Structure 1
């Protein structure tokens, strides 16, 4: 039995009216750990357990770490999650609720990740947050679910961080023979490593992450994400933090679901930039989720961003 659930595919009347076209939502924010990550990480954890892993180790204080902790609890496997000092108390609380051992180490994810790797023993499995073919295979299941409903979109909107979701969605589109369905890959300013890679023709490392959408804060996307851009029609789009944050609040009002800015950026594409979707009548938005964000945090970030230009 899979660790993820089949999530609803629903028409968004508010977004459809705003965009003047049909907008459907794949609501992966409703996954038990709060995001799409459990699809791929759940598959990876089950696979590594079958190969003899006796402990799972992660270095993410966000959605990936929560998915590992959830999978470990469900499978009866102990989990260590190493998080940087910047990780919120809310995130640490959620990890401990899933019975994970939380270790705080370093000022950045890179330092936490290096420490997590140093803990690996012969019977441990390391769960990367986005760069693992098992993750992409698992994430592709969301497109399988959409195809099974009989609905075929003209375009798919999703956010890009490290590229795991993008890689999985493209795999899902291709295995359902939807090679003609383009993907709008959306990032925030200050975390646009995929956009930089597309422009350069190779992956590049950003100097720093300055966006509030920290779940998109991979300084370098995985190589597979860039390869997808060469194999499938993908449009890279960059949107402001301000728009992403506003979209989170608008989506909460419209659908009573709270998502993080890393998810809000895809919704902002519809709320604020629907003109870029000209020519596409049926839009599918991957509502990828985010469990560690609170509405107070979003409003606090919004206050800090009001003086910044869009």
Structure 2
């Protein structure tokens, strides 16, 4: 039977934000996960499925690998803060710094998977991450709010899009398909916004934030 590596996190009302926007605002406290972010939901699930079949994302993969007693190699760009590198190593992972940005590190991870027979664990682009992983976040929100209560909207940060996909899947799972989702990105790394405007996949010239 599969073990869940994530925990059911609190759903807390933010008085300051509620006062600011004029309606009740709840915060899903994913910073209280064992790895410090929501990533452990999907990546923990994916790692288990991959293992049985044969940054945040790296931390989730390193944590899941340690819990399962298997080795992990985490490829990160040189822009990764030293504290993150230390935390990855503390989890027992082998850490390699490759390139300036995520694309460089990802290309090396794919190369290693092909040449050394390693299993590639993507940080966001895999349905197992969100179908039964990140989607669990919304199931917990529904349970916390109780029967007959649903949010007026869900605001979600977007990086690679894995959490956004999980939120949308979770809303479908609990029957909240009419709840609007507001996707937020950092200026300077707004690839989703650029893709929506262009109507196709795009590559940003640089990540400036």
Superposition TM-score tier, normalisation by shorter sequence: over 0.9
User: 2:72 & 2:130 partners in 1: Cα distance?
Assistant: 22
Alpha-carbon shift at residue 194 of structure 1 (Å): 1.0
Instruction: Give structure 1 stretches of 5+ with no counterpart.
Output: 53-61, 212-310
Aligned to 1:96: 89
Indicate the SS of the match to 2:80: coil
1:203-246 superposed Cα distances (whole Å, 9 cap, x missing partner): 211111112xxxxxxxxxxxxxxxxxxxxxxxxxxxxxxxxxxx
Aligned to 2:118: 124
Q: Does 1:114 align with 2:112?
A: no
Map residues 47-86 of structure 1 onto 2, 5 A cutoff.
Answer: 47-52=49-54, 62-86=55-79
Alpha-carbon shift at residue 155 of structure 1 (Å): 0.2
Aligned to 1:142: 137
Aligned to 1:203: 201
TM-score by length of 2: 0.92
Map residues 145-156 of structure 1 onto 2, 5 A cutoff.
Answer: 145-149=140-144, 150=146, 151-156=149-154
Which structure carries more relative contact order (alpha carbon 8 Å, separation 6+)? 1
Of residues 4, 19, 28 in structure 2, which corresponds to 1:17?
A: 19
Runs of 4+ with deviation above 6 angstroms: none
Give the count of matched residue pairs: 202
User: 1:104 & 1:200 partners in 2: Cα distance?
Assistant: 32
User: 2:196 & 2:141 partners in 1: Cα distance?
Assistant: 28
Aligned to 1:133: 127
User: 2:205 & 2:198 partners in 1: Cα distance?
Assistant: 15
Alpha-carbon shift at residue 111 of structure 1 (Å): 2.0
Alpha-carbon shift at residue 44 of structure 1 (Å): 0.1
User: After the TM superposition, which of the residue ranges 197-206 and 28-37 deviates more from structure 2?
Assistant: 197-206
TM-score by length of 1: 0.63
1:45-84 superposed Cα distances (whole Å, 9 cap, x missing partner): 01001101xxxxxxxxx00000000000011110001122
User: 1:101 & 1:141 partners in 2: Cα distance?
Assistant: 29
User: 1:98 & 1:23 partners in 2: Cα distance?
Assistant: 35
Query: Please, what is the CA RMSD of the aligned residues?
Result: 1.3
User: 1:205 & 1:180 partners in 2: Cα distance?
Assistant: 31
Alpha-carbon shift at residue 183 of structure 1 (Å): 0.5
User: 1:30 & 1:180 partners in 2: Cα distance?
Assistant: 29
User: 2:82 & 2:75 partners in 1: Cα distance?
Assistant: 14
Indicate the SS of the match to 1:111: helix
Map residues 1-310 of structure 1 onto 2, 5 A cutoff.
Answer: 1-52=3-54, 62-120=55-113, 124-137=118-131, 138-149=133-144, 150=146, 151-211=149-209
User: 1:48 & 1:166 partners in 2: Cα distance?
Assistant: 22
User: 2:186 & 2:102 partners in 1: Cα distance?
Assistant: 19
